Chains A and B, each alone.
Chain A
Amino acid sequence: MLSVDNISVRRGATVTLHDVSFGLAAGRTLAVVGESGAGKSTLIGAILGLVPCSSGQVTWDKTPVARCRPALVMQEPRSAFNPRLSLYHSAMEPLVAQRTVPDPERLNMLCQGLEIPPNLLSRRPTEVSIGQAQRVGILRALIAAPPLVLFDEPLSALDAVTQKYTARLIAELQHEAGFAALIVTHDLGYAAAFADEIAVLRAGRVEEYAASRAFVEAPRTDYGRTLRDAAFALGALERVA
């Protein structure tokens, strides 16, 4: 399991993460929600070891996180691929890095799970829709069977219908493959519908941490309520009588 213990990140005089702690077990999903500048991207960087922590530590099963080879799904699917290579080439990069060859059975399973038609992978990133490109991005993240997958705003470039469709595919694959998922998003609706727990990040601190359903039904903090009410006001969450 992923355990984040009291990490703080400083950049010069400003603290971008302050004493953040949480755990995430295999098969579970944690959504980190918050506004721009709350420290969401810094948190991803800190977990991946790209941003040095000034204190605290991040481990996976008591070993450094890098050893479990976590995967990352990025926000902008098209710019996350080398435009000159075929999608297949890009999607297999994690295996090349680990000096192994694709397992046809796993590739087949993932393509079916992500509803990627067979000929799609021979195309280049600019020749497919954004939704398709993002599904290949998820394929690339999952191909080497990582135990931990980080999603950085995975749906924000997609339209509303494609968002829900892609979210469902991710959840189904997680059910089969059993990886731990950490989703960073500003969309409380997505977090509430698909995560087990929600951590609300504000100005580098965890403002509220709760089971997702309990959080959206009754936020404990004022800020949590503000976020929830904004989700209602924009129709991401809906009240029914």
Chain B
Amino acid sequence: MTITVSGLSASHSGRTILQETDVTIRPRERIGLVGASGSGKSTLGHALIDKLRAQGERSVAHVPQSPDEALDPLRSMAFHWREAERASGLAPDQARRQELFAALRIEGGDLRKRPWGWSRGMQQRFVIAMALIGTPDLLVMDEPTSALDPVVAASTMSLLENYLSDRQTALLLITHDLGLAACRMDRLMVMQTGRIVEDAPTQKVLSAPKTDAARSLCLHRSWLELPC
């Protein structure tokens, strides 16, 4: 289902941090929302989810930057899972859980433990698995790699993409790192001072950036280019 939201905006103590923005996301799209820190990327992600939820749309999910921002340290993983199922309006289903855990390779995690009994990489995958419980139309991920070691981050992204490959879920990846978005996303939205200044297919942005923000990101895309 195509998601259309119009008139997103946000302000904080009188200062506008997100200008009026419209967003359209088609099924299966892989969108990178990129920009410098403070450009309003995360705010847009939050506003998008909050507005969709307020409109009664349940089939959207959000994965915050760090698992600390997604899990209650006093509650067991099993508790989190049950609660997420209930929040998606689903009955408990052992098979579904096993499928998601297998897809994200966290079958070995002890559900009786609390979050801090798991490694950070496992916690992050658990949060992603929770977000996928109802097979949402849209999954918003906020800097999914920055709290993790590169090896763990790369394999988490691959596992997620594999899982989503035969599903309709669209992915919105929020990141400051154009390198990450460029090698994994089909469409880029470039943000600067609270507005989307460029919205185009990835190849088009990379080959012909139109704005200063996009040019700066393209110029500092990766650390090194290697001939191989």
Beta-carbon contact of A235 and B149 below 8 Å: no
Beta-carbon contact of B153 and A190 below 8 Å: no
30 A-B pairs with C-beta separation under 8 A = A35-B151, A36-B120, A158-B37, A159-B36, A160-B177, A161-B216, A161-B220, A162-B37, A163-B220, A164-B220, A164-B223, A186-B149, A186-B150, A187-B223, A189-B179, A189-B224, A192-B224, A216-B224, A217-B226, A230-B154, A233-B183, A234-B180, A235-B181, A235-B183, A237-B223, A238-B179, A239-B227, A239-B228, A240-B227, A241-B227
Q: Counting CB contacts under 8 A, is B113 at the interface?
A: no
Beta-carbon contact of A238 and B224 below 8 Å: yes
* A239-B226 CB under 8 A given contacts A161-B220, A164-B220, A234-B145: yes
Q: Counting CB contacts under 8 A, is B222 at the interface?
A: yes
Q: Which B positions have Cβ atoms within 8 angstroms of A?
A: 36-38, 120, 145-146, 149-155, 157-158, 176-184, 216-217, 220-228
Q: Return A151 CB to nearest CB of chain B, in Å.
A: 15
Chain B interface mostly: mixed
Q: Which residues 183-241 of A have a CB within 8 angstroms of B?
A: 186-190, 192-193, 216-217, 226-227, 229-241
Q: Mark A1-38, 1 if CB is under 8 A from B, else 0.
A: 00000000000000000000000000000000001100
A36 to B121, alpha carbons, bound, how many Å? Answer: 11
Q: Counting CB contacts under 8 A, is A95 at the interface?
A: no
A234 to B154, alpha carbons, bound, how many Å? Answer: 6
Give every chain A residue within 8 A of B178 (Cβ-Cβ): 160, 235
Max chain A Cβ within 10 angstroms of own Cβ: one of B145, B216, B226? B226
